[in-house]
Structures are given as structure tokens and as C-alpha cells.
Chains A and B, each alone.
Chain A
Amino acid sequence: MNERPKFRFVSADRRVREDRRFVAGMGKYVGDIAEAGMLHVAIVHAPYTAAKIVSFDASRALAMPGVVAVVEGEELSTNVEPLMNGLDTPKVQRYPLAVKHVRYNGEWVAAVVAQTRAQAEDAAECVDVEYEPLPFVIDAEEAYRPSSPPVHAAHGSNVLLDRTFNWGEIDEDFAASDHQLSLRVTWGRSSTVPLETFGVVAMWDPWAEVMDVRASIQMPKYADQIARAMRLPGNAVRVHYDIDVGGSYGVKRGIKHTVLACYLSMKLKQPVRLIEDRLENMSSGDAHGPDRIFDIDAAFNRDGIVRSMKMRALDNAGAYAGRAPFQLGKPIGAIVGPYKINSVRYHAVSVTSNKAVQEAVRGFGQSPTNYAIETMMDRVAEHLGMDRVEIRRRNFIRADEFPYLIPSGTRYDSGDYHTVVDKVMKHVDWPAFVAERDRLRANGAYAGIGIAACLEPSGGNSSFEPLLNPANTTTTWMESCRINVDALGNITATIHTTSSGQGHETLASTVIGEVLEFDPDSIRIVRTDSLTSLPGNSPVGSRMAVMLGGSCYLAANKLKKKLKAIAAHQFDCAPEDVDYVQGVLRAKDGRTLKWAEMVNIAHRNFHLLPEDCEPGLEVTNVYQVPTGTDLPTADGRVQMYPCHSFEFHCILVTIDPDTGKVDIPRYVIGHDCGTVINPHIVKGMTLGGIAHGLGAALMEEFVYDGEGQMMAQSFMDYLLPSSHEVPQVEIVHHCTPSPFTVMGQKGSGESGYLGAPAAISGAVNDAVRSLGIRFNRLPMRMTAISDAIAEAKSKQSN
């Protein structure tokens, strides 16, 4: 099983075909679209954290040059349906614009439409809204209390989700363990903050009765959601997938922006463009990430074996529900990480508050959960005086134990964690690595080593939907591919999604080229629109290598099968007696039919086709997620994602004692995502994920003050890692193919990000341990670190 399969194009050092247009500035982003008569939108934002809208007067704005319309929430809400909630919380209603009440600072209150964006912005400042401030709640613990002011009075409380799962004999395992410890860690609210903000151009065609939507979108069921909200038939919404998306990493799901733009376009019968400015993106683009407090009790033996874990995760979802609470559900599929923890109690709580709304962020809750689990492992090691690598080794699932069923119902596909760790230990020369930290310490530096081992569940299905919402019976999360060979014999394949840098055209052409034994560069990849597309679920959940790759593979094999059937008919033999080699069909007796001959027969010679064979050479495949077909059991167990990539981080940090600045002189990651389809893409994902994880660990946070004002609204105060902060990363590769996928591939779209925050936290804590400091909260910003060091030193000197 651990033999690396031999491929011709897959895993080869091949260029990423999308790159050519990007280096020339020829990407086609939503901001590049200029339709004739296109109108522009500016937003009026709420200046209060919670308030009643007492009066609304747009007359001054409407009198300004170029202004075409001003629309507020009451009008909008009578004409569109509420946006979709993930959980069964019908009283938590969300519209693109606030209706009667505003629930967070910056919430969209009105849309001003004008001939130019500048005119719209000018006029937005002249919309007069009178508010009556209301009580609000910012803190999650406070929001959880029944006494807190409910963000949605009709819902009755702030609790969106409050569910406890018991998987295994938790109390027995706790009673039988030698030791127990408790810890609390907090994951501060950050996000992926792509360089391109969200944008959409909506264009209602009243003659064709079709809504054309072009957007910087990365979202499952986007067209369906637009149609539902707009009360249109599904076939009256056409989302164009040939738009390049300038980064997303989960969050580009601007459904409120889209429904608003669609409504305005339908009302005004003109194309409408709505593009967030950076302030909007950060304050009210509804794209913040998890904001989570973890309380953990661990039960373990003196030999370091962790037997049981109780975890409470309390997440602050913000003012509306959306899909965000599901981010407490996905980690259930890897709730024990790479470890053999025998039983788990998981208490998942999601509350509303008067903060901005969350959206899916890279890993969908897995990175915060990994940070909590890995901090627990570090604490257990510390408690027992045991080496942090050794304790992980002792708890790892062994390579010969896969497929391995974890307590919450997921069967991990494959892995060889011990070998990856051994390879990394060898790569860094572990004794020398430790000696280097100690040398730095001896020279007076605060130096620390960080270790993190974690999984990247991939091939995303959506099993957390039925798990957390019994009204939802989703058991498929399919992806599709269509291949057509034209009458000249050239191959074109379609994919049915936008991409935001993942290289799906390269992925599809590589896999199809591999199967059909054609140079992938000769295969054209076309992006359809939602009316011409096959079923799909967009590139979320680290799923496209598994799902699009799987669909392309199966479609190409279907085409091969058809070719063999046609050839067998000519050879008068059984299809299984026909060989396919680089487009040539060969009978056992040596007769051959060349590609051009096969194409000619299929396209022009119906009389030569076998019975029931359709003319032409076109195949489609709609691929079901491998493993994910069952509804959850009554005790809350379900197979979550099919594949599990592994990463092991081993890093060295130093801290400037005066400024608190963390440097990372050495960053090594062992990475195993099974069969790699394109090594450049996987490498980029991993390096980028680490950079993003570094941001979440040390720099990035949407900070709110006690009054609910968001304090980080620009890149001057929400800091993104630059080339100075991101270390040079060494990747140690390993390949354990997945037995569940067509070529052994697993996902890598979230790699690096899933373990970097845990590793950096572990390293910083190791560096300041001698001062008696413990950081239990991310991000650990420079100011927090320098303050803690100064305080500890002053205590020591007293």
C-alpha cells in the first residue's frame, strides 16, 4: 500500500497552466467586468452595535448627481426571501440589508445606486438614518447566559447550537486514568482576508428572464441560493464560472452582496456592480472566521497514553447564523487528531452576538480545534515531564491500524505518522535541533521549539449538516466532469466551478491526460456556467483533488471503455480483449485502430457502432464522495470526510525580549497528502497555509472594544504577514496513498494552516516557560508577548 504508484503526468514537475494569464495581468476578475450601462453600489453602514431604525430618509441622497436609487431593508425584505441558515433556526432571519434593527456595528442598512462608484459613495454619506440604541452583547460567555440580551428577540436566546456528544465510555475512561488535567485556550477572531475583496456583477435580462451573475465566489449551491432568495426558478439564474477569484480560502461567499445586487438589477433593469471596499470587507463583509473558546479535560496514564478527552467549544458566531455554526461540526471528523483517544465528550455551543457575521474559513473550524488538541498534548507532556515528540509518538495511530475508526464515527483512510515524524526528526537532526535552542538560550535569548501533529480531513462532503441539523438529510456532495472529443480528435473537458488559485484546470487536464495518455497541455479545460454545468459543490473542504480528480479520472475511464467497445465491434472480439495504448486501440491479434480512425467512426459512421452506442465521443461522470453515504446514527456518529492528510510541524523560534517580536529561524513540516497531482500546487498550498497560520498565531485579529466597535478595519491594524514575517519553510515529503480514492490522492488545500498556529503557540510557550509565562490565547501579538515578559521580569526582580 505504501508503494508509490508510477504515473506519467501525475506527480510530475509540470507547470500550472493558469499561471500564464496571471503573469500577463490577463486574469479575468470580477472587478475587470465593465458592462454597458453598469450601475455602481455604495453601502450605508450602521454606526451602532445594536439599534432600532427609527427613521430613514434618502431624499438628500436621491437628489445628488448620478444617483439612481436608494434601497433600504424594509423594501428589500418584502421582495426577497431570507438568506439560508445552516441550522434549523428559522427565527434568526437574515437579509442583505438590516430590517428594522441593526445588530452589529457596520451592518448594511441601505444601498445607494449611482452611475459611478464615486457618486454612490458621495450620496451614501447623505442618507439620513435615525437610530435608537439597544442593549448588546459582545462576549460569547455572556451571550450564552440566559440573561443576555438576545440578538434576535424572536429566537428567544442567543443560543444557536448547544449539543453534547458522548462517544465511548468517557466516565469509565476518566475513572480508570492515572492523571487528569484541564485547560482553556482561546482562538481569536481572524479570517483569510483575500487581497481581492468580494465583488459581484448582476445583470437581469428581462427578455430572456435570466439573472446573469459574475462574482468572486467560492460557494457550494450558490446559484440555488440566489434563485431561492430571489424567488426565481433555478434555471433563471446563470452563474458564470469563468471568473478568476482573487483569493478566498473559504470566505468568498457573498450571498448577501449577490442577492442585493440581483434585486437592484431586477428593479432597475440594468447591470449592477457591487464591490466591497477594504473597510466594508473587514467590518461588514460577513467574512470573519471562528471566534472560539475551548475548555478541555484530558484523562491520561503515567505512560503518556491519553485515554479520554472532554472538550467544550464555545463559538461566537456573530449577529446572524448563516453556515458558520457548521464550523463546530466539521472537526468532529478528526476530533481525536492523529491519536488513539478512546472516548470523547464534545460539547459544541454556538451563540449569536453583536459582532460581524462569520463565514467559512480555511479548514472550517479544524485549525482552531487542532490548536486546542495540540495544546492539550503539550500540557500532558509537561505534566508528565515527557518529551513532546515522544508523547505524540506513543499516542499515534499505527500505520497497520488503518482504516481506523475514531470514536465519533469517521474511519480514517490511511497514514504513517510514525514514519513522517522519523523523517522529520532525521531531517532536522533532532539532538542538534534541541542543542541549537539551548545554545540560543545560553546566549540569553528566549528560544523555543514547537511541535504539532495534525490531520487535514479532505474530500469534503457535508455530513456535519445532517449531524447538526436533523431537518437536513444531505448524504451526497458530488462533483462532476464532462469530456468531449471533437470530430478533429481534440479533447475538451468541462469543470463546473470558479477557482481562487487552486489550479483546477491543471488538476483536471493532468488527470485526464494521465488516464487517456495524452499530453495534458493538449487538453482544453472549459468552465461552464450554472445552467450548462453538471452537479458540483465548489472547491470547499479541501475536496477538489479527491472529488474533481476522481470525477475526471472516472470520466476518462468511461471514455476509454466506450472506445474499447467501439473497437471491439470492429475487431469482432470482446471489449476486454482490446488494449488502449496512447489513443490506439489494439486487438489481441495485432490489428489496430488509430485515434483518428476511432474519432471518425464515432462521429461519422453510425453504421459501424455497436448496438445501443451513442454517436460521438462524449462522457459525463457525476462522482459521489467516497465513503460518505450514511446519515448520522442516533448517538451522533457519522463518517465525515473520506481522506486524512497528515502534517507534522517542527519549528524553532526566538523572541525579542524587548519588543516581543517572534522570529522563526527554522520551520520544518513533514507533509503526507497521499499521491500528489501537481507538486508545485501542493507546495504552494502548504507554504501559503503556514503563512496564514502564522498570521492567525501572531498577528491577525478582528478586535472589538467593549462597545462593539471593531478596532481593526484596515491593513494598518489588521496585520497580514509580509515576506519579512514568513520564514523559509523546509518540506519533508511522504506519500501514503488513500485506499479510498482513484489514484491515492488526498486533499492539501488547507495544509500548513491546520498545524502552524499550534506549532507556533507551542514554540512561544516553550521559549517563555522559564519566565513562568503561559499564553493560552491566539493571536499572541507582539504587545501581549512583550508585556508578559516585562511583567514576569519585574516580578522576578522583586
Chain B
Amino acid sequence: MKITLHVNAGERTVDVEPRTTLLDCLRDELRLTGAHSGCEHGVCGACTVLIDGEPARSCLMFAPQAEGYEITTVEAMSPAPGELGIIQDAFCAAHGMQCGYCTPGMILTAHALLKHNPSPTRAEIVEAISGNLCRCTGYGQIVEAIELAAQRLRGANTEAAR
């Protein structure tokens, strides 16, 4: 079936089987491979995208169900090719990753958190990322990265919480 998705501020029309997950559609049809497949049953969060600004599991949603929503993937987090947004840069500064597989989901989750709560406590950060598993870092440097991003965003004179 043909569906039209609003992805990263653009419209994309694809022809997919109704059973195609949003994750597979993004990766295989639109070649947006930043969202990763980890568990395919909604636990690990590697496939996280933003649906109308809120983190969601793209492996638990069929692509046709995503019609009409604003879908944001990690590819939209970079201001331009080769440039890092503030949250991305903070993850690099704190080395909030190792293998990078959970990282897109973490970045998007952090983006949503900081949009709602510019000054999260450590406990609030821990709570926000508790739906995103990371097997490499033990989360310490991810929490530090989000703390750093929050601090920098509060000091930035741009509204774009990228």
C-alpha cells in the first residue's frame, strides 16, 4: 500500500506491505538507517524515533499507523552534514557511548527530555533514559552527556534544542 509519511520536516511516499514496521520502513525504504533494530519487541529502545516530539519505539508501530504524525529521526539532529548539534556534541564531549548502536535512540530521548525539562536532575535523566538500554557504557557517561547538554542549552542563545 502507498503511504505518505512526514519525516524530518519532509514528505515521503512509499509503497509498503501493511505489516511493515515503521522501523523497517525508515531503514529499508527511506534509507534512514540511524534508527537501529535491537530487540524487535519494544524493550531496548535502539529503534527510538520521535513521533510528534515524543520518543516512541518504531519497531512496535506499523508504517501505515505513522501517517499523519511528525516523525523525527536522528538524521535530523545534525544542523548540516558534518556539523553536530548541541546534544550530539555533548555526547562526544562526555564520550556517552561506545559502539554507537543505542546512541541515536539516546540522543532523541535526551532531546525530548530537554525540550520538556531544561534543568533535569540526575534522577530525572536516569528515569528518562531508562527505556533505552545500553550494553556498553553502564549509563554513567550518557547521564553526564545529558547533564552537559542541558547546561549548554540553557546557556545557548538559540532555541533549537538540537
**B-binding residues in A (CB < 8 A):** 15-16, 18-27, 29, 31-32, 34, 118, 192-196, 244-249, 277-278, 500-503, 680-681, 683-685, 687-692, 714-716, 720-724, 726, 728-729, 752
Contact = CB atoms under 8 A, between A and B. Distances in A.
A31 B38 CA distance: 11
Given A23-B107, A195-B38, A714-B41, A31 B33 contact: yes
A244 B103 CA distance: 13
Contact of A15 (B40, B73, B88, B93): B93
Contacts of B88: 23-24
B41 A21 contact: no
Nearest to A31: B37
B62 interface: no
A193 B99 CA distance: 13
Contacts of B73: 25
Interface stretch (B63-71, B112-120, B134-142, B153-161): B134-142
Contact of B39 (A684, A715, A721): A715
B104 A25 contact: yes
Contact of A194 (B35, B131, B135): B135
Of listed B39, B99, B140, B142, residue having the most chain A CB within 10 A: B99
Most chain A Cβ neighbours within 10 Å, of B19, B36, B44, B138: B138
B34 interface: yes
Interface residues of B, number: 59
A23 B84 CA distance: 8
23 contacts: A16-B92, A19-B91, A19-B95, A23-B89, A23-B103, A25-B73, A34-B28, A192-B135, A194-B135, A195-B46, A196-B46, A245-B99, A246-B101, A247-B99, A500-B99, A501-B98, A684-B137, A688-B134, A691-B137, A714-B39, A723-B130, A729-B138, A752-B138
Contacts of B94: 680
Contacts of B75: 24-25
B43 A714 contact: yes
B95 A680 contact: yes
Contacts of B36: 29, 31, 195-196, 246
Contacts of A684: 95, 98, 136-138, 140-141
B150 interface: no
A118 B99 contact: no
Given A19-B92, A724-B130, 9 more contacts: A23-B92, A24-B75, A25-B73, A25-B104, A29-B101, A195-B36, A249-B135, A278-B41, A729-B140
Contacts of A716: 41, 43
B34 A692 contact: no
B19 A118 contact: yes
Contacts of B135: 192-195, 247, 249, 688, 691-692, 720
Contacts of B5: none
A43 to B, nearest CB: 15
A329 to B, nearest CB: 26
B138 A689 contact: yes
Shortest beta-carbon contacts, A-B, top 7: A25-B34, A22-B100, A501-B98, A501-B99, A246-B101, A691-B138, A687-B138
A54 B143 CA distance: 55
Among A23, A26, A32, A500, chain B packs the most CB atoms within 10 A around the CB of A23
Interface of B: 17, 19-20, 27-28, 31-41, 43-44, 46, 73-75, 77-78, 84, 88-89, 91-95, 97-104, 107, 122, 126-127, 129-143
Contacts of B126: 723-724
A729 B137 CA distance: 12
Contacts of A16: 92, 95
B157 to A, nearest CB: 22
B84 A688 contact: no
Contacts of B44: 195, 715, 720
Contact of B40 (A277, A683, A728): A277
A15 B92 contact: yes
B78 to A, nearest CB: 5
Given A31-B27, A691-B139, A24 B41 contact: no
A503 B138 contact: no
Nearest to B101: A246
Contacts of A692: 135, 138
A463 B93 CA distance: 39
A18 B103 CA distance: 12
Contact of B140 (A24, A249, A687, A720): A687
Given A26-B34, A726-B138, A195 B95 contact: no
Contacts of A20: 84, 92
Nearest to A22: B100
Contacts of A22: 97, 99-100, 103
A677 to B, nearest CB: 13
B27 to A, nearest CB: 7
Contacts of B92: 15-16, 19-20, 23
B19 to A, nearest CB: 7
B136 to A, nearest CB: 5
A403 B110 CA distance: 48
Contacts of B20: 118
Nearest to A20: B92
Given A690-B138, A692-B135, A196 B91 contact: no
With most chain B CB atoms within 10 A of its CB, the pick from A18, A21, A278, A684 is A684
B42 to A, nearest CB: 9
B25 to A, nearest CB: 12
A196 B98 CA distance: 13
Nearest to B83: A24
Given A715-B44, A723-B129, A723-B130, A24 B99 contact: no
Given A15-B93, A195-B133, A688 B98 contact: yes
B136 A247 contact: yes
A24 B76 CA distance: 9
Nearest to A687: B138
Contacts of A245: 99
Contacts of A685: 98
Nearest to B78: A24
Contact of B99 (A25, A34, A194, A689): A194
A501 B40 contact: no
A351 B103 CA distance: 39
A34 B24 CA distance: 13
Given A24-B77, A246-B101, A278-B41, A688 B136 contact: yes
A684 B145 CA distance: 12
Contacts of B132: 723
Contacts of B102: 195
B98 A723 contact: no
A18 B98 CA distance: 9
B127 to A, nearest CB: 8
Contacts of B101: 27, 29, 194-196, 246-247
Nearest to A277: B40
A32 B78 CA distance: 19
